[in-house]
Amino acid sequence: MKQTAVEWMEQNMPNISKHIPLGISLEFAGKFQHAKEMEKEQLKDAYGDGINGHRTDFCNRDEYFDKVFRVGS
């Protein structure tokens, strides 16, 4: 099974819970969960845009990414 970038980052961050208060550690856990949910929706949207490509004005994946995520603006 493939791993998303957010999942990889969550698993590969150093164990900081020993160095920070519990409340902040829980906050990080919540932020990772929110990021994973956002990423899932973005992947679903990208898939849908690919399936419905005839309704978009994107030429290739790089242009699609730049327009959707407003890179460089």
pLDDT, one tens digit for every residue, the chain (73 residues):
888 888 888 888 766 556 667 777 778 888 889 999 999 998 888 877 776 665 556 567 777 778 777 765 5
Tell me how many degrees the CA angle 7-12-16 measures, rounded to the nearest 5.
Answer: 115
* Total of domains in the chain: 1
Query: Do the Cβ atoms of 10 and 32 come closer than 8 Å?
Result: yes
Number of Cβ atoms within 10 Å of the Cβ of 10: 17
Domain limits at 62? 5-69
> Which of 48, 47, 40, 14 has its CA nearest to residue 28?
14
For residue 58, which phi and psi values (nearest 5 degrees)?
Answer: -95, 140
Length of the chain: 73
pTM: 0.64
